[in-house]
Structure 1
């Protein structure tokens, strides 16, 4: 007498993973969106000027500043910082900035990068270096393009 097996293994059995992959990708998408929502975006603290209506001078926030209250640093495309057309080392620049801020009570250090070949990353790096020296007395000079 032959004993019959209730279940016989078939030779062409397959496991369908489509539903499992859908669930895995849905969970992955959920965690990616969750992590993007929980991160705090880093920003550069830049206070943009506000022009008051009826003010023809165009510099409502800096009307009481004179030319001698500005210490202008020009950034060239190679990343060097120039003061009055002279290239300064970081140590010389730090000394000059500190001396300027001590002598001028309302003085502001201005970073000017008018050259279109200067990259944003260079401006951000130099701005961070200058802010480490001058604190919140730093401004960025812009030009109309």
Structure 2
């Protein structure tokens, strides 16, 4: 597509023409950039809800109801800060879950812990049908 600047060639020169195809390509590139930027820069907003308030004593009770299974970087296991062998993790967790089936098991692995240690623990928890499992993370 070209645009003529003048209709006459009376002076002997060629009519000036501007090729607008490259300009359209640049325009579409800029438009694409802004569309993608607007998609990725928008934050996901949830529905505005009035969430229930929890008293501090209730929150402490919820934290005490969970079992914390810690995996060190050396592959050692601790259940609520007490050392435990991998073979005893399943039966011990099952005994605790038999007392209160709503207890949550929180697996807290060291950043340096090998992945296989986490898999071993999750396998033991699967064997005793522990369904409420959470993975502990740290926020920066």
TM-score with structure 2 setting the length: 0.50
- Candidates 93, 96, 102, aligned match of 1:100: 96
Q: Which residue of 1 aligns with 2:13?
A: none
Q: Which residue of 2 aligns with 1:109?
A: 105
Q: Which residue of 2 aligns with 1:75?
A: 71
**Which 4+ runs in 1 deviate beyond 4 A?**
51-57
CA displacement, residues 2-55 of structure 1 (integer Å, 9 cap, x when unaligned) = xxxxxxxxxxxxxxxxxxxxxxxxxxxxxxxxxxxxxxxxxxxxxxxxx87555
Say if 2:67 and 2:103, in contact at 8 Å, map to a contact too: yes
Say if 2:91 and 2:128, in contact at 8 Å, map to a contact too: no
Equivalent position SS for 2:128? helix
Paired residues in the alignment total: 88
| Structure-2 separation of matches of 1:125 and 1:96 | 15
Q: Which residue of 1 aligns with 2:120?
A: 125
**Residue 79 to residue 53, structure 1, CA distance change in 2 (3 Å):** farther
| Structure-2 separation of matches of 1:118 and 1:80 | 9
Say if 1:98 and 1:133, in contact at 8 Å, map to a contact too: yes
The unaligned stretches of length 5 or more in structure 1 are 1-50, 58-62
| Structure-1 separation of matches of 2:47 and 2:91 | 36
**Residue 87 to residue 53, structure 1, CA distance change in 2 (3 Å):** farther
CA RMSD of aligned residues (A): 2.9
Higher strand share: 2
**Residue 121 to residue 144, structure 1, CA distance change in 2 (3 Å):** farther
1:15-94 correspondence runs (5 A): 66-94=62-90
| Structure-1 separation of matches of 2:121 and 2:77 | 8
